[in-house]
C-alpha cells in the first residue's frame, strides 16, 4: 500500500470516529439518531458549539503536529524559536498577530491574543499554555525516526506527540477556531507557547512570567498533565490536574575515616551511607489526604474493580484505614505517592580508588512533598529513622515552590467537567494532583486558576511512552482531543 493511501485511510478512520462519537466501537448512537430519543450523552454531543464542526480543523492540526515534531526542539538546547516562528506563520495566515518573547539566544516564547474588548481584564482572561521543548531520545531504542512524524498503524509517532506538542497544537486549533467562527468573546483568550519546561532554566516560565507578565496575565489557564484515561476500549475517567507535589532534592552525606582498603574500618562512609539508604528506601512517610486527593479516590472508588474500590472507600476510616492504605499503596506507585511525601534515592557517589576507603559518600534523594508539607518535618523523621551521627542531610537549592491548588468551585473547572463528561460518554471527571511538576505551579503562584488536561484519550501503556521510547498518539485520539479542547475553550469564552 502506498504511503499516501495509508495516510488517507488513517485520516478516514479519524474522521469516522468523530462522527460516531466516542468510543469508536461503542453503542453510542450518532448525533442524528440522538434526535429520535437518544441518551442525554448524545444530546450533549450534538448540542451546537459556537465553533461548529471541527473535522476539517483537526486534519489541518494534524499537519501542524507533523511539522512541529519534525522541528527538533530537544532540550537542551531547546531551539524553541524555530517552532515559535512556525506557529507565528500559521497564525499570520489566519490574520492573527503574534509576538516573540525573547528569553535567551535561540529561545523565544510566542504569545497571541484574541480580544474581547478594548480594555483587557486580566482577571477574566483565559490562557492556553503548552511547551515547545521536548526531552531527548535514545534513538537506538526507537523503531522509527523520533523526529520524522511517521504515521503507522493509526498512530503518529514522534518525540513530543504526547508531551507536549499534541497539546500545543490542540491549543492552537482551539484558538484559531474562535477566530474563524468570529466568536463573540466574553474574555480575552491568550495563546502561549513556552520554552524550557523540561529544563526549568533561564528560558522557563518562571523567567517568562517575571519578564513579560503584562502580556500573559490571566485569571484562568489550561495546561498539560491532566488525562483522559482509556481502559478496555473506552474512557474510564477524565482527570483534571488542579494541584501538584513539590520537588525537593536532598543530599545524604556520610563521613568517616579514610584509610587503606586492606584494613576495614567500622566508620567506613560507604557502609554507613548504604545502611542509611536501605532504611530510607523502605520507609513510608505518614499518610495524609489533601482535599483533591480525597476527591480523586472517592471518584475512582466508584469505577475501579470491586476489590480496589472497597479499599479506596476505606482509606480514611479509623478502623480499616491503615490496612486500606497499604493495599492501595501496594497496588500502584502513583496512588502511594498521592497519599504521602515520597522519597526516591536516585544517585550514589563514593570513592576514588578501589583500594582506598573514602572519607565521604553521598546519595541524592528526590523527594516529592505534598503541597503544604515542609522538608524540615520529613528530615526530622528521617534523622530519627537513620539514627546515625555520621549521616547528615543537605537540602539542595533547586527546590520547587508549593503553590496553592486551583479551585474545584471555579466556573472554568465546571466548564471543563461538563464538556469533557458529555464528550466522553458521561465518563466521570475527577480532580487530580500530579506527582510531577509542571509550569502550572508558577501560574498558580500568580493567582491563576490553572488546570491540566491533555485532551487525548490514551491508555496507560501510551502514557508510559512519554519521556520513553516510541512515543506516539493514536490519530483518532488526536482528532477527538482537538475537538474536545476547542469545545471547552469555546464554551468558556463565548458570549451566550
Q: Where along the sequence are the contacts to Zn ion (CB under 5 A)?
A: 163-164, 224
Q: Which is nearer to Zn ion, 224 or 341 (CB)?
A: 224
The continuous run of DSSP H or E covering 270 comes out as helix 269-281
278 contacts: CB under 8 Å, gap ≥ 6: none
8 HSE (CA, 13 A, CB side): 5
Rounded distance, CA 312 to CA 306, Å?
Answer: 10
Let me know: does 357 contact 272? Beta carbons within 8 Å. no
Rounded distance, CA 203 to CA 87, Å?
Answer: 18
CB of 495 to Zn ion, least distance (A): 32
Q: Which is nearer to Zn ion, 174 or 454 (CB)?
A: 454
CB of 174 to Zn ion, least distance (A): 18
Strands 234-244 and 429-434: parallel
Rounded to 10°, the helix 475-493/3-19 angle is 40
From the list 214, 244, 226, 224, the residue with the least C-alpha distance to 406 is: 244
CB of 284 to Zn ion, least distance (A): 28
452 contacts: CB under 8 Å, gap ≥ 6: 222, 223, 224, 225, 226, 240, 241, 242, 432, 434, 438, 440
Strands 189-194 and 126-131: parallel
CB of 204 to Zn ion, least distance (A): 12
Q: Which is nearer to Zn ion, 163 or 304 (CB)?
A: 163
Q: Which is nearer to Zn ion, 224 or 304 (CB)?
A: 224
CB of 164 to Zn ion, least distance (A): 4
Q: Which is nearer to Zn ion, 22 or 191 (CB)?
A: 191
Cβ atoms within 10 Å, residue 385 = 13
From the list 407, 404, 463, the residue with the least C-alpha distance to 246 is: 404
Q: Which is nearer to Zn ion, 224 or 491 (CB)?
A: 224
Please state whether the peptide bond connecting residue 120 to the residue before it is cis, i.e. omega within 30 degrees of 0. no
CB of 434 to Zn ion, least distance (A): 11
CB of 162 to Zn ion, least distance (A): 9
Q: Which is nearer to Zn ion, 163 or 341 (CB)?
A: 163
Q: Which is nearer to Zn ion, 134 or 207 (CB)?
A: 134
From the list 110, 113, 75, the residue with the least C-alpha distance to 96 is: 113
Cβ atoms within 10 Å, residue 63 = 12
How far out from the chain centre does Cα 165 lie?
12
Q: Which is nearer to Zn ion, 156 or 324 (CB)?
A: 156
Let me know: does 478 contact 456? Beta carbons within 8 Å. yes
Q: Where are the beta strands (DSSP E) in 359-456?
A: 360-369, 391-395, 429-434, 449-452
Strands 457-459 and 227-231: parallel
CB of 131 to Zn ion, least distance (A): 6
Q: Which is nearer to Zn ion, 29 or 481 (CB)?
A: 481
CB of 372 to Zn ion, least distance (A): 24
CB of 135 to Zn ion, least distance (A): 8
Give the angle subtended at the CA of 116 by the CAs of 112 and 117, to the nearest 5°.
115
CB of 191 to Zn ion, least distance (A): 17
Q: Which is nearer to Zn ion, 68 or 250 (CB)?
A: 68
Task: List the grid coordinates of 394.
Answer: 543537605
253, 350, 365 from 274: Cα distances, Å: 11, 11, 13
Let me know: does 417 contact 222? Beta carbons within 8 Å. no
Task: List the grid coordinates of 120.
Answer: 483587557
Strands 151-152 and 155-157: antiparallel
Q: Which is nearer to Zn ion, 65 or 277 (CB)?
A: 65
Rounded distance, CA 128 to CA 112, Å?
Answer: 10
Q: Which is nearer to Zn ion, 21 or 146 (CB)?
A: 146
CB of 211 to Zn ion, least distance (A): 21
Q: Which residues pair with 101 in a beta bridge?
A: 109
CB of 168 to Zn ion, least distance (A): 10
Amino acid at each position: 500500500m502506498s504511503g499516501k493511501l495509508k495516510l488517507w485511510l488513517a485520516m478516514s478512520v479519524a474522521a469516522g470516529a468523530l462522527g460516531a462519537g466516542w468510543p469508536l466501537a461503542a453503542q453510542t448512537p450518532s448525533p442524528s439518531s440522538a434526535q429520535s430519543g437518544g441518551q442525554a450523552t448524545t444530546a450533549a454531543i450534538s448540542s451546537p458549539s459556537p465553533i461548529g464542526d471541527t473535522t476539517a480543523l483537526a486534519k489541518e492540526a494534524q499537519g501542524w503536529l507533523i511539522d512541529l515534531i519534525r522541528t527538533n526542539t530537544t532540550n537542551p538546547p531547546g531551539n524553541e524559536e524555530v517552532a515559535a516562528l512556525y506557529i507565528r506563520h500559521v497564525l499570520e495566515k489566519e490574520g492573527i498577530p503574534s509576538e516573540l518573547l525573547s528569553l535567551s539566544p535561540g529561545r523565544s516564547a510566542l504569545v497571541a491574543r484574541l480580544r474581547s474588548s478594548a480594555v483587557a481584564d486580566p482577571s477574566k482572561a483565559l490562557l492556553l499554555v503548552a511547551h515547545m521543548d521536548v526531552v531527548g531520545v535514545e534513538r537506538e531504542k526507537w523503531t522509527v525516526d523520533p523526529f520524522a512524524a511517521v504515521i503507522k498503524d493509526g498512530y503518529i509517532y514522534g518525540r513530543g506527540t504526547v508531551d507536549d506538542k499534541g497539546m500545543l497544537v490542540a491549543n492552537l486549533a482551539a484558538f484559531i477556531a474562535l477566530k474563524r467562527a468570529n466568536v463573540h468573546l466574553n474574555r480575552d483568550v491568550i495563546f502561549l507557547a513556552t520554552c524550557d519546561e523540561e529544563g526549568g532554566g533561564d528560558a522557563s516560565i518562571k523567567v517568562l512570567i517575571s519578564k513579560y507578565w503584562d502580556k500573559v496575565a490571566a485569571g484562568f489557564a489550561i495546561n498539560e498533565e491532566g488525562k483522559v484515561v482509556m481502559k478496555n476500549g473506552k474512557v474510564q475517567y477524565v482527570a483534571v490536574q488542579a494541584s501538584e507535589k513539590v520537588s525537593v532534592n536532598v543530599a545524604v552525606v556520610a563521613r568517616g575515616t579514610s584509610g587503606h582498603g586492606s584494613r576495614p574500618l567500622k566508620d567506613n562512609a560507604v557502609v554507613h551511607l548504604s545502611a542509611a539508604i536501605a532504611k530510607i528506601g523502605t520507609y513510608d512517610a505518614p499518610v495524609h489526604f489533601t482535599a483533591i486527593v480525597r476527591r480523586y479516590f472517592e471518584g475512582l472508588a466508584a469505577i475501579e474493580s470491586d476489590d480496589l474500590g472497597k479499599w479506596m472507600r476505606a482509606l480514611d476510616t479509623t478502623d480499616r484505614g491503615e490496612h486500606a492504605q497499604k493495599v492501595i499503596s501496594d497496588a500502584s506507585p502513583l496512588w502511594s505517592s498521592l497519599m504521602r511525601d515520597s522519597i526516591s534515592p536516585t544517585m550514589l557517589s563514593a570513592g576514588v580508588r578501589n583500594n582506598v576507603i573514602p572519607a565521604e559518600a553521598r546519595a541524592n534523594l528526590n523527594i516529592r512533598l505534598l503541597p503544604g508539607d515542609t522538608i524540615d518535618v520529613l528530615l526530622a523523621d528521617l534523622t530519627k529513622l537513620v539514627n546515625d551521627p555520621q549521616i547528615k542531610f543537605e537540602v539542595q537549592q533547586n527546590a520547587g515552590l508549593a503553590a496553592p491548588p486551583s479551585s474545584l468551585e471555579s466556573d472554568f473547572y465546571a466548564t471543563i467537567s461538563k464538556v469533557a463528561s458529555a464528550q466522553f460518554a458521561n465518563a466521570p471527571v475527577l480532580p487530580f494532583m500530579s506527582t510531577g511538576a509542571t509550569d502550572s505551579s508558577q501560574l498558580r503562584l500568580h493567582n491563576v486558576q490553572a488546570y491540566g488536561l491533555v485532551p487525548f484519550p490514551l491508555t496507560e501503556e501510551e502514557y508510559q511512552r512519554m519521556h520513553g521510547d516510541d512515543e506516539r498518539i493514536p490519530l483518532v485520539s488526536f482528532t477527538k482531543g482537538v475537538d474536545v479542547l476547542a469545545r471547552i475553550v469555546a464554551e468558556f469564552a463565548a458570549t451566550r
